[in-house]
Amino acid sequence: MSTKIKFTNANKSTFFATTRQRVENYLKENTTSKFANKAMWVKTIFYLSGFLALYLLIISNMFPIWTMFGLALLLGVFCAFIGFNVCHDAIHGAFSANQKINKIFSFLFNLIGASPYVWSITHNVVHHTYTNIPGHDEDIEVAPGLIRISEERKVTKIQRFQHFYAFGVYSLASLSWVLRKDYVKFFQKKIGEHSNVNHPKREYFNLFFYKAIYYFWFIALPLLVLDITWWQFVIGFICLHLAEGLTMGLVFQLAHVVEGTDYPLPNEQGNIEEAWADHQMRTTANFATNSKMASFFLGGLNRQIEHHLFPKVCHIHYPKIASIVKQTALEFDLPYLESPSFSAALKSHYRMLKKFGWEAYYQINDLKTGKI
């Protein structure tokens, strides 16, 4: 496989140029900045205040153990929502025209246990460029050997049951992020086929320093001030991250691993023979776009199509530009994949898990035994 994929735009598509011009015209005609507006700042204040309030309530030591357990679960969900609604836009440079503000809100990613620097590589650079391309987009390589969500991955016996246990594996995402993933990705020579060796020296310090800060605030300090046993703390800490991990895992999977999305392979020259934006339309899906609740909580990640095409536009504007993207896609005979609700997308993802696991395993077995 080529170490660097190129999108050749073999069909000379002008889809993205047309869509971008129309979106820019819309923003200009409505005197709308592509960055955060008042509604976005209200969301930001809500999530950051909620996060701080939940944390302080937990370490106040004023509540019985079961109340603190419930607060811990809610704090885990709020950590995911801060990532979705605040840090995600900031790391993309979409929150503000002032890069200092983007940097400040990107920094908050450290407070939920993740490195904004590592995320900018794995997500902004690799995932957004090589979406759903096996061997390049590591977002579709969740727990290799356990989860198979690409036809290029080897089928194993246990994957027959992945539609039952996958959601439990997704729940481990946050724990892995906090304790393992950032370190592994930082020192990994390649992420997919992207070279990952020349990190600025300060990022070595940042990785370990801010992880230590996180471990102090979420492990050491609670153990020092809370009137609970160590095993009660461990249960609370793990469950906080299970709630955070499941929230994150489901949202990201529903955007790219549902029925209709493609997993294209490069040709022998290492090229994807279509335009990058056309590729995004075939590999990305929306869900619950008519739900104001989904839009408020998921930070525009239920509108992944708009996000992948315009990652530097604040998600608060996605509902307005979605009709432009959809209409232009129809004009260019490109798919615009969307599920009407969260539950519909979840069912579609479940069916994909069965297709890549249970169905693939028995199809291979039937081929071996001559049944087909």
pLDDT of residue 368: 59
Neighbours of 222 (CB within 10 A): 20
pLDDT of residue 91: 97
Q: Which residue has the tokens 């160590």?
A: 230
Q: Assign residue 9 a region: left if phi > 0, alpha if psi is -120 to 50, beta otherwise?
A: left
Distance CA(307)–CA(346), nearest Å, equals: 20
pLDDT of residue 51: 97
String of b and e for 54-84 (b: at least 16 CB within 10 Å)? bbebbbeeeeeeeebbebbbbbbbbbbbbbb
The residues pairing with 287 across neighbouring beta strands, listed in sequence order, are: 339
Q: Are strands 194-195 and 190-191 parallel, antiparallel or unpaired?
A: antiparallel
Q: Is 144 exposed, middle or buried (0-12, 13-18, 19+ CB in 10 A)?
A: exposed
- Indicate whether this model's pTM tops 0.75: yes
Locate the domains of the chain by residue range: 6-369
- 275 in Cβ contact with 264 (< 8 Å): no
Distance CA(81)–CA(100), nearest Å, equals: 22
Q: Are strands 271-272 and 337-339 parallel, antiparallel or unpaired?
A: unpaired
* pLDDT tens for the 372 residues of the chain, in order: 445 789 998 889 999 999 999 999 999 999 889 999 999 999 999 999 999 999 999 999 999 999 999 999 999 999 999 999 999 999 999 999 999 999 999 999 998 999 999 999 999 999 999 999 988 898 888 887 899 888 878 888 899 999 999 999 999 999 999 999 999 999 999 888 788 888 999 999 999 999 999 999 999 999 999 999 999 999 999 999 999 999 999 998 999 999 999 999 998 888 999 999 999 999 999 999 999 999 999 999 999 999 999 999 999 999 999 999 999 999 999 999 999 999 999 999 999 999 999 888 787 765 555 554
